[in-house]
């Protein structure tokens, strides 16, 4: 499975080992996102992630496949959690294997920039003064647009 | 003939509904000469439910997904389709 949606914490060690397997390609890059303990000046206790399961699976599979074609990946994987996630726990993991470091690293960055705006998840921060929906970030849109324009980071 | 409407996140919260069926026969069409129903006509029909619906559905940057793909107001809706409406996504 190259895409998994799950409520359970991501076992990043196992995911890395599975991606590398018996015969790794020359370059392996990964990214792990964790729940931040603050949002601007406000402390965060936990993150609630709502999602649209059927669409999330489809979108993540498509963007992973597009990254694989664009960067010539040998292997790739995306794991995204949903549900109530306490601070310092994993939210998302992406991994890419390629012949060269540029492709592996860029593929991870591209997959992350794309899923931030295209994957149907919505975050709600739980803090001392209650819960509030996280607004989408203009920077995320700009980062995504660069990939459309063919620019690299 | 009906479609499934799904609402997510702050939209779902504001309107108190996550999923319901909508009869296409009850949707006014924009042009009597064609019986095409598109996302725009669905939104107009739902907005008529009251000010809360109108305000929620007319917020800027609302996303429409038809059968799990992002579409725009001109997308044509057919019997059995699933139309999801939600605020901009914040994954990752």
Residues in chain A with CB shorter than 8 Å from the CB of B87 are 122, 133, 136
Q: What is the mean pLDDT of chain B?
A: 93
Q: β-strands B69-71, B63-66: how paired?
A: antiparallel
- B57 vs A23, which has greater pLDDT? B57
Confidence band (pLDDT; 50, 70, 90) for A101? very high
Give percent of chain A with pLDDT exceeding 90: 73
Residues in chain B with CB shorter than 8 Å from the CB of A121 are 89-92
Tell me whether residues A52 and B65 touch, CB distance under 8 A: yes
- ipTM, two decimals, is 0.92
Chains A and B form CB pairs within 8 A to the count of 74
Q: β-strands A3-6, A75-81: how paired?
A: parallel
Residues in chain B with CB shorter than 8 Å from the CB of A59 are 68
| Shortest Cα–Cα distance, B52 to chain A (Å) | 18
Tell me whether residues A123 and B90 touch, CB distance under 8 A: yes
Taking residues B67-90, report their average pLDDT: 96
- B54 vs B36, which has greater pLDDT? B54
| Shortest Cα–Cα distance, B33 to chain A (Å) | 34
The pLDDT of residue A23? 73
Nearest by CB to residue A121, choosing from B69, B84, B90, is B90
Tell me whether residues B92 and A58 touch, CB distance under 8 A: no
Cα gap A36→A91, rounded to integer Å: 10
Cα gap A96→A104, rounded to integer Å: 5
Q: What is the Cα B51 distance to its own chain's centre?
A: 16
Give the residue on B whose Cα is nearest the Cα of A133: B10
Whether B22 has a pLDDT exceeding 70, the answer reads yes
Cα gap B49→B28, rounded to integer Å: 13
Show the tokens assigned to B36: 């095409």
Taking residues B3-14, report their average pLDDT: 97
Nearest by CB to residue A121, choosing from B10, B65, B91, is B91
Tell me which long-range contacts A149-153 makes (C-beta under 8 A, separation of at least 24): A152/A106, A153/A106, A153/A109
The pLDDT of residue A42? 79
Confidence band (pLDDT; 50, 70, 90) for A24? confident
The pLDDT of residue B30? 62
Tell me whether residues A54 and B68 touch, CB distance under 8 A: yes
User: Best interface-test mutation with B: which of A31, A136, A144 has the largest number of B CBs within 10 A?
Assistant: A136
């Amino acid at each position: 499975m190259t895409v998994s949606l799950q409520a359970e914490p991501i076992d990043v060690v196992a995911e890395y080992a599975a991606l590398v397997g018996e015969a790794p390609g020359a370059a392996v890059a990964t990214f792990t996102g964790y729940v931040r303990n603050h949002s601007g000046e406000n402390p965060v206790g936990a993150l609630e992630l709502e999602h649209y399961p059927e669409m999330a699976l489809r979108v993540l599979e498509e963007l992973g496949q597009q990254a694989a074609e664009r960067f010539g990946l040998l292997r790739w994987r995306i794991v995204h959690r949903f549900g109530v996630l306490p601070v310092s726990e994993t939210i998302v993991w992406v991994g890419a294997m390629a012949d060269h470091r540029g492709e592996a690293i860029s593929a991870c960055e591209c997959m992350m920039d794309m899923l931030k705006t295209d994957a149907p998840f919505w975050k709600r921060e739980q803090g001392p003064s209650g819960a509030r929906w996280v607004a989408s970030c203009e920077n995320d849109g700009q980062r995504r647009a660069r990939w459309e324009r063919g620019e690299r980071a | 003939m009906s479609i499934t409407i799904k609402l997510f996140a702050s939209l779902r919260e504001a309107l108190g509904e996550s999923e319901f069926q909508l009869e296409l026969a009850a949707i006014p069409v924009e042009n009597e000469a064609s019986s095409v129903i598109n996302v725009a006509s669905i939104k107009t029909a739902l907005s008529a439910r009251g000010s809360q619906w109108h305000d929620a559905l007319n917020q800027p940057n609302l996303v429409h997904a038809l059968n799990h793909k992002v579409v725009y107001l001109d997308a044509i809706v057919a019997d059995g389709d699933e139309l999801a409406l939600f605020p901009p996504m914040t994954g990752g």
